[in-house]
Structure 1
Amino acid sequence: MKQDVLIVGAGPTGLVLALWLTAQGVKVRIIDKNVGPGPTSRAMVVHARTLELYRQLDLADAVVEAGHRNPSVNLWAKGRVKARISFSPTGGNLTPYPFVLVYPQDHHERLLEARLAALGVKVERQTEFVDFAHDAAGVSARLRLPDGGSEVCTAQYLAGCDGARSPVRQRLEVDFAGGTYDQTFYVADVDVSGATANGEAHISLETGDFVALLAYAEGRGRLIGLVRETREDADELTFADVSHRAIESLRLTVDKVNWFSTYRVHHRVADRFRRGRVFLLGDAAHVHSPVGGQGMNTGIGDAVNLAWKLAAVLKEHAPDSLLDSFEAERIRFARQLVETTDRLFTFVTADGSVADFLRVQVAPALTGIAYRVGGVREFLFRILSQTQLNYRGSPLSRTAHGRVQGGDRLPWVRVNGLDNYASLAAIAWQVHVYGEAGGDIRTWCAAKHVPLHVFPWGPQQAGAGLARDAAYLVRPDTYVALVTEGARPEALETYFAEQGIRLSATSA
C-alpha cells in the first residue's frame, strides 16, 4: 500500500511529525533501525514554545506532569551565587509555561510513541532505510527488515528525521556545512545531595572548568561539563577521570552515577532542507552546541511547521509551492541558532587567563545587573523559550503596522480565565479579533468555514501588542499569517488567492 509520507527516524522529531500528520488524516509509515526508544536521557529540556504547540494534540499537560519544572537558573562563580534568573515573574505574562521543563528524552520518546500507537500507528523497529529514488510521481525507498530481508516502500513524500549522520541526507547528497569543536564534553545522570540539589538549575564557573546541573527529579539530575584536557582516550573516560572542581564549588555531593558519556559537539546546517519530495528535519538538517537546550525543540518545531503544509498539499488544498516555505522558514532559524550557540559555546570554552577572567568574574556580574532590567529579562526568556521565533519575511507572511506582524507567534493572553490559546488546539486556519468584529468579517468567515474567535479588548491585549478590532489570520501551526486593520475580509481573500490555498468545509 502506498503511503502518504514515509518517516525515517523515531526520535522526538519523527514522532511529532507522525503525530501531527496522523491527526490531520495523513497516512504515515514511521521506521527506525533501533530496537526501541533510546535507553539514555540525552536531550533534557522542553521549552515553553514546544509545550504551547503540544496543546494542539492534548500533549502538554501530560509532558508537564511527567517532567520537572525548573523555575530558575542560578549562576555560580568561584563557589558563590552571582545571579539567580527566575522565569516565572517575566514568563508568566508571556506563556502558560513560564519555566524550563526537564524531561529526559527516553521518557519523552516513550510518551510520544504511546500517543502515536493510540492513533493506530506503530513504529516499525529494527527497520533500516537503505536507499531511495524519487521523481514527480513519488518516492520508492528500499528498506532492510528485522529478519534481514528487504522491501520497497512507496510514498508520496519522504521525511529524513534520522539524526546527524542521516543516511537520507547522505543519499540526497546534500552538503552538511560546518565543523566540530576541539573540546570534548561529558554528560552524567547522577543521584545528588546537598544544598544545590534543590530542584533548580545551576551553572558553576571555575577557572578552567565549568558544569551545569539540570534537576529532573528529587535528588536526581544531569551534569554537563567540559573535559579540558585533549584526550586521545576520551571515549574510555569515566566520571572519576574528569575535573570535579566546578561540581565541588556547587557544594554538591554526587552519590551515584547512573550513566556517563563523552561526546564532541558539532555545528552544521544542511544546505537544503527540501529536495523534490524529500525533506530533512531535526538533527538531519542542523546540529549545534547544547547551549540553551535548543536542539530537540528545534526539531519538533521543524515537524510542526512541515506537517500542516504536507497535509494541505496531499489533500489538494494547496499547491506544491507551499512546501518550499518549510525550508525558507526553518533554515533561517537554524542558521541563526547555530551562529548564536556557536558564540556562546566559544565564550564558555575559551582558554587563557583573559578568557577565564571574563567568564568567571565579568560575565556573571554583568548578567546579574542586566537581569534586573525588565526588558532584558523578557528578551532573555523569549530567546531561551523560543517564543521569540518568528517567520517575518517568509513567503507566507504579510507584514502590517503594529507590534504583532505577519510571521509572529500569536501573543498569549489570558483574562478572567479566558485563554486565547484554547482555540489553537484545532490544526486549522482561524481568525482572531480582539475587540469588535463587524458583519463583513463574520459573513466571510462563515462562508469560508474559517472559525472566527472574538475576544474582549482590554489593557492586557494592548500590552501584548495586539491591535484593537484588527483581524489576525492564524496559520494551522499557530503563527500569524496576516494582520488586517479594521478586519477587512478582502485582505484575507487576497491572501489565500495569492498563496493558492483553497479553503473548504473541512478546514474548520
Structure 2
Amino acid sequence: MNRSDVLIIGAGPTGLVLALWLSRQGVKVRILDQTAGPGTTSRALAVQARTLELYRQLDLTQAILDQGHRVPAANLWVKGEQAAHLPLSSIGADLTPYPFLEIYPQDQHEQLLIERLERFGVTVERQTELLSFTDHGHLVSAQLRGADGQEETCQAFYLAGCDGARSTVRKTLGIDFPGGTYQQVFYVADVDAQGPALNGELHADLDEADFLAVFPLAGEGRARLIGTVRDERAEHAETLKFEDVSRRAMDSLKVQVDRVNWFSTYRVHHRVAERFFSGRAFLLGDAAHVHSPAGGQGMNTGIGDAINLAWKLAAVLSGKAEEHLLATYEFERIEFARRLVATTDRVFSFITADGPIANLLRTRLAPLLIPKVTAVEAAREFLFRTVSQITLNYRDMPLSCGSAGHVHGGDRLPWAHGAVIDNFASLDYLGWQVHVYGVTSDALRAWCAERQLPLTVFDWETAHQAAGLARNGFYLLRPDTYVALAEKSADPKVMERYFEERKIAL
C-alpha cells in the first residue's frame, strides 16, 4: 500500500508550496491533481512583498524577480483622466526589501514550483482523483482513481485539501462554506496593446463604465485586462467573446488593443469555510476561502496558509511537537481569511456597484478624496502594508508571547537595514532562530549554543530603533520567520519556559 506522511490534493500554487516546504524539511509527500498538466493561462498575477520575503527560505525569490515584472506604481483613473498616482517603490522603501508589486503569472509560477519540487524527487501525479477518504484517528486512508482508471487505496498521516473552491476534501468533511456570489461577471484578457496605461504600471478605472484594471506583464505592450460585465450580456457569460465586451472602460483608460492572446470569463465568490481542519485533514487556499480579486490577495493568502501549516506538520511528524500544535493553523489563518474577505468585499462592492449614488461616489467624491488621502504618508503606508500583507500578524494567539519595543509576539519581524546591515539576511534559514539587537548575556549565548539554536547578535544601529526593535532584548523567531516571543531581558529561562509550555522541542 502506498504510504506517505502527507497526501496533498491539488497542485495549484498552494499545494505545490506546501509540498515544497514539507519536502525541504524531510517530510515524505504525495501530491496529485485531476488536471492533465499545469495551467497554460492564469488569472492570478500578483506576488506580494510578504510572499517574496517568505520565498527567500527556498531560494525562490530571485527567480521570480528575474522572470517577472516589477510594478513600481498604481494609478486610479476617472472619466478618462488620471486621478491618483501611488508610487509603491517610495512608499515601501523602508518597510521591505521588495517595495513593489511583482507580476508573475500563475502558470509560470506553478512551473517554477514544479521544477523545484522535482529536485526533491517529487512529481505531481496528474489525472488522479480523490474519490473518498476515511480518518482513522491515527492515519488517513484515501481511495484514488488514476489516469488509467484504476483505483487504489493509499495511506497518509495527514491529508491536505488544496483542491479549490469545489473542494472534495471540504465536502467530505461536511464543513460549511458560507458566503455568496457576486452578480457581476468577470472577464480576463491577455492582450498586446498600446496607450498611456501600458507604461509598466498598474492602472484601474473608477467610472460609470464597467470596472477595468490593466496589469502590466513582462514584455513591451503586454498586459492583462481584468474587467466586469454588468449588463444583460452577463446572463450569457459562458458564450461571451472579447468582441462582446464593452469598450467604455477601455476607451476611458485610452487602451487600444492590438491582439487578444486569450480570453475567459468567470464569476467571483466570497466565502470562508467554518473550519480549516477536522481531525487529520486540513483545508488550504481556495478550499478554505475565496474572495474578490481586489488587491491581488488570493494566491498569496493560499501560499501563506501552506507555509504556516508546513512547519507545524514537520514539527509534529518529527516528534518535536505534539499534535495540538496543528490546531494553531486554524487559529492563525481563519481570522485573517475572514478579515480579508470582509475587506475585499467592501472594496469590490464600491468599485462595481451600480446606480446613481454609487456612480456619484466613484466619479465625483473619489477623485476629490483619493488624492488627499494618498498624499498623507501614514495613509499611503497603511495601504501598502495592507495590500503587501506585511501587516499580517498573529498577536494574542497561542504561539505568540511578549513584547519588546514596538514589536509583539506574533508580528512579522520588522525590516531594519543600512549600508552594511540587513536583519533579514538570516531569514533564509528554515527553523527556529533568535535575534538580538545590541548586546546579550553569556547565559543566553550558552543556552542557544547548547541547543544548536542559531543566535544572531546585531550591533545596535539607529536603523533598529527606527524599525521599532528593542535594544538588548531578544526575539525568538518561528520557522516561518514570524516573532514567537519578544522579550526585553536577556534571560534564557523566559525562552525555555516558552518551549516547555507549548511542548515544543528544538
Task: Answer whether TM exceeds 0.5 for this pair.
Answer: yes
Structure 2 residue aligned with 1:185: 186
Q: CA deviation at 1:402?
A: 3.2
Any residues of structure 2 matched to 1:452-467 within 5 Å, and which? 452-467=455-470
- Alpha-carbon distance in structure 2 between the residues aligned to 1:255 and 1:412: 43
**Structure 1 residue aligned with 2:431:** 428
User: In structure 2, the residue corresponding to 1:418 is in which secondary structure?
Assistant: coil
Q: What secondary structure does 2:282 align onto? A: strand
Contact 2:161 2:281 in 1 (8 A): yes
Partner secondary structure for residue 205 of structure 2: strand
1:19-34 → structure 2 map (5 Å cutoff): 19-34=20-35
Report the AA paired with residue 373 of structure 2: A
Taking the aligned partners of 2:250 and 2:133, their CA distance within structure 1 comes to: 48
Closer, same or farther: CA 407–472 of 1 in aligned 2, 3 Å: same
Q: Aligned runs of 1:32-111 on 2, under 5 Å?
A: 32-111=33-112
Which residue among 199, 216, 221 is the counterpart of 2:223? Answer: 221
CA distance in 1, matches of 2:453, 2:113: 30
Q: Does 1:395 align with 2:398?
A: yes
Q: Name 1:301's counterpart in structure 2.
A: 304
Name the TM-score, length of structure 1 as normaliser: 0.98
Q: Please list every run of at least 4 consecutive aligned residues from structure 1 whose deviation after the TM superposition is greater than 3 angstroms.
A: none
Q: 1:195 Cα deviation (Å)?
A: 2.4
- Which digits, 9 at most, give the CA deviation of each residue in 1:305-329, with x for residues without a partner? 0000000000000000000000000
Aligned runs of 1:213-252 on 2, under 5 Å? 213-217=214-218, 218-230=220-232, 231-252=234-255
Aligned partner of 1:506 in structure 2 is: none
Bigger CA drift: 188-197 or 314-323?
188-197
Work out the percentage of aligned pairs sharing the same amino acid.
60
Q: How does the TM-score come out when normalised to structure 2?
A: 0.98
Q: Secondary structure at the match of 2:393?
A: coil
Equivalenced residues, count: 503
Residue 134 of structure 2 corresponds to 133
Assess if the C-alpha contact under 8 Å between 1:208 and 1:356 holds in 2.
no
Q: What RMSD, in angstroms, separates the aligned Cα atoms of the two structures?
A: 1.0
Give, in angstroms, the shift of residue 279 of structure 1.
0.3
Q: Does 1:417 align with 2:408?
A: no
The C-alpha deviation readout for 1:26-79, integer Å capped at 9, x for no partner, is 000000110111121220100000000000000000011111111000111001
Which is worse superposed, 293-302 or 257-266?
257-266
Whether the 8 Å contact between 1:211 and 1:225 is mirrored in structure 2 is yes
**Secondary structure in structure 2 of the residue aligned to 1:469:** coil
Contact residue 188 and residue 260 of structure 1 kept, 8 A: yes
Q: Give CA deviations for 1:361-409 in whole Å, capped at 9, x if unaligned.
A: 2123312111111111111100010000000121100132531100000
1:206 touches 1:245 (CA, 8 Å); kept in 2? no
Which is further off, 324-333 or 391-400?
391-400
For residues 310 and 336 of structure 2, the distance between their equivalents in structure 1, rounded to whole angstroms, comes to 18
Q: 1:185 corresponds to which letter in structure 2?
A: F
User: Hey, what does 2:17 align to over in structure 1?
Assistant: 16
Counterparts of 1:280 and 1:376 in 2: how far apart (Å)? 34
5 Å-filtered alignment, 1:470-481, equals 470-481=473-484
1:205 shift after superposition: 2.1
Q: Does 1:167 align with 2:168?
A: yes
What is aligned with 1:118? 119
Residue in 1 aligned with 2:453?
Answer: 450
Cα deviation, 1:192-226, whole Å, max 9, x if unaligned, reads: 11222111110112213221000012211111111
2:440 aligned residue: 437
Amino acid at match of 1:337: L
Equivalents in 2 of 1:500, 1:313: separation in Å? Answer: 11
Partner secondary structure for residue 401 of structure 2: coil
The answer as to whether partners of 1:83 and 1:365 remain within 8 angstroms in 2 is no
C-alpha deviations, 1:251-304, integer Å up to 9, x for none?
Answer: 211011111111111000001111010000000000000000100000000000
Paired amino acid for 2:229: V
Q: Mean Cα displacement is larger for which, 106-115 or 190-199?
A: 190-199
- Kindly indicate whether the alpha-carbon contact (under 8 Å) linking 1:309 and 1:323 is maintained by their aligned counterparts in 2: yes
